[in-house]
Amino acid sequence: MKVFNKKFNSDELDINEIIEVLRLQQAPFKTKTQDHVSSILEEVFTRGDEAIKEFSLEFDGLDISSLDEARIDSKLINNSKSLVDKETFISLKKTYKRILNYQKTLLPSEKIDNNIIRKNIPIESILIYTPGGKALYPSTVLMAAGPAKAAGVRNIILSSPSPTKSLSPIILAACHVAGIDEVYCIGGVHAIAGFVFRNNSLPNVDKVVGPGNKYVAEAKRQIFGMAGIDLIAGPSEILVIGDNQTDPYSTALDLMAQAEHDEQACSILVSLDQEFTNKVESIINNEVETLERKDIIKKSLLDNGFIINLNTIEEAIDFSNKFAPEHLHLKLKDSSRIMDKFIYAGTILIGDDSANAISDYSLGPSHILPTSASARFSSQLSVNNFLVHPTVINLNKEELKGNYLDLLEDTITLSKAEGLSAHTKSAIYRLKKLKG
């Protein structure tokens, strides 16, 4: 079997040309997708409950007479503990505790000085969107709820598509562990619209977080402004950088682990050694047949898998920082020594022990990460995504003394320069009072 359809060499294409090819293939939104999402949003905005019910039946097979039927009874959530095996439930609890503890360490300090205070105010209500489809993601429930709980968000709602008026016991168990008792079994664009627009029976939220397919991502983009969003996530991606000292077997497993998310997942191997990449390909060929999601892995690697052979570590650094992957795994002999040169990525994994599988499931930092080069300007979901920071300004001219005079004089100078005479007059008035 041909594992990777797409291979590049820096002797044939320069770094910028390779990145252009990759990003063109990963273009997140097409006109048809945008138009389709817009039409659904408009229907929900216009017709409220009726549109949500119709789309739930059309897209998810959920037949309900009212949106209340889409809410899952809290008793089912509380009883979910008995429906999953003990080991799984314990792992959910341990993982959630790690996430919560880590996120609490990220809480910023409020006070700046005696006159200016940066407040930390939790968002009142959020929606955690959890994908349905080909896999279950209880880990996403924990990775989204933990930061929100650490921030102090009071109302956390979870929604995930299902035709059965319920969700998988393991998803409900994750909700139970995270203290989420308001759960709905609707999904897709119409769900996003329903929780954001105020013309229907679903509770209104201030922010939408969590991953989804391209339609959910586009819906989040279009509703931004009516509600906040965490980020617009494209297909999941990993960039592994290795050399002749790298373990080819673990590298093959790590690439397949990424590829099994879905057919659109992007797995890239950057290598400084051709023989190493040949070994990785051979191992994947042998091992993929042993995996449950082998068909997904094969298609993902064929369509969105890349091998890039480079000549120097400097080329690898340049490529990585420009590509800005969701996950960056440095498996080089001297990874620790040069890791500071790799600056743009959602998560940076150092050394073979730092498996992406661990990062995805059981570590403290959230696995909800920027994709499609957005790591160049955004970061993983954290407690800070659930806080707003109003600034409290309490100036006292007696305490500030000469500093208050400086503030007034600079205000007068700059407001005159901008032609805003009311600002100028306001400052002059206080200056006159100060001088008596």
Q: Is the pLDDT of residue 26 over 80?
A: no
Bridge partner list, 9: 309
DSSP per-residue letters across 54-118: HHHHHHH----SSGGGGBPPHHHHHHGGGGS-HHHHHHHHHHHHHHHHHHHTTPPP-B-SSSEEE
User: What is the rounded average pLDDT of the residues 164-175?
Assistant: 94
Fold match between 6-28+234-363 and 31-229?
yes
Q: What is the pLDDT of residue 52?
A: 98
Query: What residue spans define the domains of the chain?
Result: 6-28+234-363, 31-229, 395-435
Mean pLDDT of 400-413: 93
75-79, 231-235, 367-371: which range is least confident on average? 231-235
Q: What confidence tens digit (pLDDT) does each residue in 415-424 have?
A: 999 999 999 9
State yes or no: is 398 an active-site residue: no
pLDDT of amino acid 102: 96
Mean pLDDT of all residues in 120-149: 92
Q: pLDDT class for 188, splitting at 50, 70, 90?
A: very high
- For the cut 70, the answer to whether the pLDDT of residue 379 exceeds it is yes
Looking at the chain, the whole-number percentage of residues with pLDDT higher than 90 is: 79
Q: Which CATH number is correct for 6-28+234-363, 3.30.70.1380, 3.40.640.10, 3.40.50.1980, 3.40.50.1360?
A: 3.40.50.1980
Residue 1 scores a pLDDT above 70 = no
Please tell me the distance from the alpha carbon of residue 330 to that of residue 321, in angstroms, as a whole number. 13
Quote the tokens at residue 388: 């707003």
Q: How does the average pLDDT of the chain come out, rounded?
A: 93
- Whether 194 shows a pLDDT value over 90: the answer reads yes
- CB-CB contact of 50 with 202 (8 Å): no
Residues 224-268: pLDDT tens digits?
999 999 999 888 999 999 998 899 999 999 999 999 998 989 999
| Rounded to 5°, angle at Cα 220 from 66 and 122 | 90
Q: In the prediction, which pLDDT does 153 show?
A: 98
Strand duo 182-184 + 155-159: pairing: parallel
Which pLDDT score is estimated for 23? 77
pLDDT band at 160 (very low <50, low <70, confident <90, very high): very high
Q: What is the pLDDT of residue 25?
A: 66
The CATH class of the 31-229 domain is alpha beta
pLDDT band, residue 289 (cuts 50/70/90): very high
- Distances 319 to 26, 148, 308, 342, 355 between C-alpha atoms, Å: 16, 34, 10, 10, 22
Q: Which one of the listed residues 315, 326, 329, 367 is annotated catalytic?
A: 326
Q: What percentage of the chain carries pLDDT values higher than 70?
A: 97
- Among the listed residues 176, 261, 327, 329, the single catalytic one is 327
Decide if 327 is catalytic: yes
Question: Looking at residues 133-162, what average pLDDT do you find?
Answer: 93
Query: Who wins on pLDDT, 157 or 32?
Result: 157
